[in-house]
C-alpha cells in the first residue's frame, strides 16, 4: 500500500496533474463542458455510480455535452455544496476490497446548485436547452408514492404547498414541473426524467407521480409531457457506505489527496437501463451500462436486485441493530445471522423470482453474500436501517404478499418486519437509544411505543400495509408471535432457538457453494459452513408459523 511522504494536496483543477497516486484523474478539459445532466440528490450513491459512468464517458469518449450539474434541494445539502465548491467539484472514489484500496478522482460533476435561496437558478438550469436529462436519487420517500393506492400522496403538506402555494417549490415535482412548463413554452423537448432510486419500476413511478402532479398544476404542459416525455426504468447497484473521518485521513496518508468528502465503495457496479429518452442520451453502453430495449428487460433485474440485495439488507439490518452489531460484515460473519439471511433468500424470496436468461440466481446470491462480507467496506448497520418506511413496502412486504398468495413460507420475512417494529421503539436490547432516521419517524415511533409487543398499532398504517396484509389472518398471527418472541428473548436468542438444532443436524449434509475469487476470499473464512442452499428445517416447517413452537 503506497504511503505518501510529501504533504497532501487539496483537490482542485490546478492540482490535478500532481495526484500521481490516484488510479485515474480527469484527463479532459473541465472548462469546456456542458451540463447535459442535472442531478437532484448528490449523495454518496450518485457520486459512486452515475457520476462514475459519466466520468468514463468524458475521459474515454470526450462526451463533453454530458457533464453533471448537481442540485441539492434540502437544507442538509449545504454540507455537500461546502465540500465540493472549494475543490472545483472534484472528489475521490475510494474502492475497497480484499485486494486493497484504489483512488479515482472524478470530475464529471462540474457545478452544484444549492436550491434553498437559489430556486430560480435550479429551475433555469433544468429548463436550459443544454440540459437533456434530469436524474434523481431522492430516496423512496422523495416520490410521495402511496404504496397502497399506487397514487401520488396529494394530501402531503409538501405536495399541497407546491400545488397551491406561491412560494418556491419544496418538492422535486415542484421543480420539475416549473422547468418543464418553461421548456413547453419555449418549444423545447422535455428532458428525460431518469430515476436512479431503488424502487420497482422507478421510471414508471416517476412518470405517474409527476404527471399526476403536473395535471393539477400545469394541465397543458402535462398533456405535452405525457405525449413526449420519457422516464426510463433502471436497476442501479453499488454498495456505498457513509463516509467517515477515517476515510478522509486514510486518503491523505495513502494517496496524498486532501478531499473534504470522498466516497467509499465496493469494486462491483451495475446499471441496467431502459433505452427510453426524450431528448437524447450519451452512449452509456460504451462505459459498461447494460442498456436494454424495454421495461420488461429491466423489471426482472430490478426484482432480483431489490428483493435479494435490498431485501437482504433490510432483513439483517433491524435484527442486527437490535442485537448491537455495528457493521454489515460482522453480521454476515455470524453463523446464526448468516443462516437466517441465507434461508430467507433461498426459501422465501428466490422461489418468487422469474428466471432471467443468462443469470444464475444461486450465483447472484453467493455474490451478494461475498459483497456483504467485505470487511474493508465497513458498511454500517445503521445505514441500512435508514428510512424503513420507504424500504419495507418495496423490498419485503411484496414478497410476503406473494408468498401468502401461493401459500408459501413467510416466517423469516415476517420476523424482519417484527424486528423493524421493535427497532422503531428507538432503544436496542442493551438499552442503548438511537435516533430513528425516517420521514415517518414521529408517527411510527409513537405507534411502536403504544403497541409494545403487539404489532396492531403499526399494522394500522394503511399506506404501508394496505388492506391485504393488515387483515391477513396468517400474517397477523405470525407477526404477533414473532414480536412476542423478540420481546421475550431478543434477536439473537430468537434466532438461536430457531437454529440450534438445525446447525447440528444439517451442517454436513448441505451442499456448499463457496465463492473463491481473490476479491471475495474474505467471505469464505469464518462462514464457510453457512453459505449453502436452503436448510432442511426451512423445508420442513415452511407452511406453519415459523416461531410458534417457541411459545
Ligand atoms: C441499501 C442500499 O440502504 C439501503 O437500502 O440496501 O443503499 C444498497 O446498499 C444499494 O442499493 C446497493 O446497490
Q: Which CA distances in Å does 274 have to 150, 202, 294? A: 22, 11, 6
Q: Which CA distances in Å does 57 have to 5, 169, 286? A: 33, 32, 8
Contact 342, 410 (CB under 8 A): no
Any residues with Cβ below 6 Å from ligand 1, and which? 198, 237-239, 309-310, 313, 383-384, 391
DSSP letter assigned to residue 188: P
Whose CA is closest to atom 6 on ligand 1?
310
Whose CA is closest to atom 13 on ligand 1?
237
The alpha carbon of residue 194 and the mean position of all alpha carbons in its chain are separated, in whole angstroms, by 15
Ligand 1: centre distance to CA 302 (Å)? 13
Q: How confident is the model at residue 462 (pLDDT cuts 50, 70, 90)?
A: confident
pLDDT at 531 over 90: no
Ligand 1: centre distance to CA 319 (Å)? 17
Q: Which CA distances in Å does 380 have to 321, 331, 395, 509? A: 10, 10, 19, 33
SS3 113: strand
**Residue carrying the nine cell digits 434530469:** 134
Atom of ligand 1 nearest to the CA of 313: 6
Q: How confident is the model at residue 505 (pLDDT cuts 50, 70, 90)?
A: very low
Contact 410, 538 (CB under 8 A): no
pLDDT, position 16: 95
**What digits encode the pLDDT tens for the residues 349-361?**
999 999 999 999 9
Atom of ligand 1 nearest to the CA of 310: 6
pLDDT, position 499: 66
pLDDT at 49 over 70: yes
Q: How many residues does the chain have?
A: 551
pLDDT at 126 over 90: yes
Which grid coordinates belong to 347?
A: 426459501
Rounded mean pLDDT of 423-448? 94
Kind of pairing between the strands at 100-106 and 109-114 = unpaired
Any bridge partners for residue 291, and if so which? 273
Contact 234, 242 (CB under 8 A): no
* Rounded Cα–Cα distance for residues 448 and 533 (Å): 35
Atom of ligand 1 nearest to the CA of 237: 13
Q: How confident is the model at residue 140 (pLDDT cuts 50, 70, 90)?
A: confident
**What digits encode the pLDDT tens for the residues 205-234?**
999 999 999 999 999 999 999 999 999 999
CA neighbor of 142 nearest in space, from 1, 43, 252, 55: 43
Q: Which CA distances in Å does 423 have to 68, 200, 255, 426, 496? A: 38, 25, 39, 6, 19
Q: At 208, which helix (H) or strand (E)?
A: helix 202-217
How many CB atoms sit inside 10 A of residue 17's CB?
A: 8
Max intra-chain CA distance, the chain: 71
Q: How confident is the model at residue 141 (pLDDT cuts 50, 70, 90)?
A: confident
Residue 355, Cβ density class (10 Å: 0-12 exposed, 13-18 middle, ≥19 buried): exposed
- From 313, 379, 396, mutation site for ligand 1 pocket: most ligand atoms within 8 A of C-beta: 313
Amino acid at each position: 500500500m503506497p504511503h505518501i511522504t510529501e504533504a497532501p494536496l487539496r483537490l482542485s483543477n490546478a492540482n490535478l496533474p500532481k495526484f500521481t497516486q490516484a488510479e485515474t484523474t480527469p484527463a479532459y478539459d473541465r472548462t469546456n463542458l456542458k451540463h447535459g445532466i442535472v442531478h437532484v440528490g448528490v449523495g454518496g450513491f450518485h457520486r459512486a455510480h452515475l457520476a462514475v459512468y459519466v466520468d468514463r464517458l468524458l475521459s474515454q469518449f470526450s462526451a463533453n455535452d454530458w457533464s453533471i450539474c448537481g442540485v441539492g434541494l434540502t437544507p442538509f445539502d449545504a454540507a455537500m455544496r461546502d465540500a465540493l465548491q472549494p475543490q472545483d467539484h472534484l472528489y475521490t472514489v475510494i474502492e475497497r476490497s480484499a485486494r486493497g484500496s484504489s483512488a479515482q478522482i472524478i470530475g464529471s460533476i462540474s457545478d452544484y446548485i444549492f436550491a434553498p435561496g437559489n430556486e430560480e437558478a435550479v429551475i433555469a438550469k433544468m429548463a436550459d436547452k443544454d440540459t437533456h436529462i434530469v436524474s434523481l436519487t431522492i430516496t423512496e420517500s422523495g416520490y410521495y408514492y402511496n404504496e397502497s393506492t399506487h397514487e401520488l400522496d396529494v394530501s402531503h403538506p409538501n405536495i399541497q404547498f407546491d400545488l397551491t402555494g406561491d412560494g418556491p417549490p419544496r418538492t422535486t415535482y415542484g421543480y420539475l414541473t416549473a422547468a418543464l412548463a418553461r421548456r413547453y413554452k419555449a418549444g423545447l423537448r422535455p428532458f428525460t426524467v431518469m430515476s436512479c432510486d431503488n424502487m420497482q419500476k422507478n421510471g414508471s413511478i416517476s412518470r405517474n407521480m409527476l404527471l399526476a402532479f403536473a395535471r393539477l398544476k400545469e394541465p397543458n404542459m402535462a398533456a405535452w409531457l405525457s405525449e413526449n416525455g420519457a422516464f426510463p426504468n433502471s436497476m442501479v447497484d453499488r454498495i456505498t457506505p457513509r463516509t467517515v473521518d477515517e476515510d478522509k485521513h486514510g486518503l491523505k496518508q495513502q494517496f496524498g489527496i486532501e478531499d473534504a468528502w470522498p466516497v467509499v465503495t465496493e469494486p462491483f457496479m451495475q446499471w441496467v437501463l431502459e433505452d427510453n429518452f426524450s431528448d437524447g442520451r450519451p452512449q452509456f453502453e460504451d462505459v459498461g451500462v447494460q442498456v436494454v430495449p424495454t421495461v420488461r428487460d429491466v423489471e426482472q433485474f430490478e426484482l432480483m436486485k431489490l428483493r435479494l440485495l435490498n431485501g437482504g439488507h433490510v432483513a439483517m439490518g433491524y435484527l442486527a441493530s437490535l442485537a448491537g452489531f455495528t457493521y454489515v460484515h460482522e453480521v454476515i460473519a455470524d453463523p446464526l445471522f448468516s443462516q437466517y439471511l441465507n434461508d430467507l433468500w433461498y426459501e422465501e424470496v428466490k422461489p418468487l423470482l422469474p428466471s432471467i436468461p443468462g443469470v444464475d440466481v444461486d450465483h447472484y446470491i453467493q455474490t451478494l453474500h461475498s459483497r456483504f462480507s467485505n470487511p474493508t467496506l465497513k458498511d454500517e448497520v445503521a445505514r441500512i436501517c435508514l428510512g424503513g418506511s420507504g424500504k419495507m413496502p418495496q423490498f419485503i412486504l411484496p414478497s410476503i404478499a406473494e408468498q401468502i398468495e401461493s401459500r408459501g413460507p413467510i416466517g423469516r420475512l415476517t420476523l424482519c418486519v417484527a424486528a423493524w417494529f421493535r427497532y422503531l421503539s428507538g432503544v436496542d436490547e442493551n438499552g442503548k437509544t438511537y435516533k430513528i432516521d425516517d420521514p415517518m419517524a414521529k408517527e411510527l415511533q409513537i405507534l411502536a411505543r403504544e403497541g409494545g409487543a403487539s404489532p396492531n398499532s403499526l399494522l394500522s398504517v394503511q399506506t404501508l400495509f394496505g388492506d391485504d396484509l393488515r387483515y391477513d389472518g396468517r400474517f397477523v398471527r405470525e407477526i404477533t408471535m414473532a414480536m412476542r418472541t423478540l420481546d421475550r428473548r431478543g434477536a439473537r436468542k430468537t434466532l438461536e432457538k430457531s437454529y440450534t438444532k438445525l446447525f447440528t443436524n444439517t451442517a454436513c449434509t448441505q451442499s456448499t457453494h463457496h465463492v473463491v475469487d481473490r476479491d471475495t476470499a474474505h467471505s469464505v473464512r469464518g462462514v464457510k459452513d453457512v453459505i449453502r442452499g436452503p436448510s432442511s428445517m426451512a423445508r420442513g416447517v415452511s407452511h406453519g408459523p415459523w416461531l410458534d413452537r417457541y411459545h
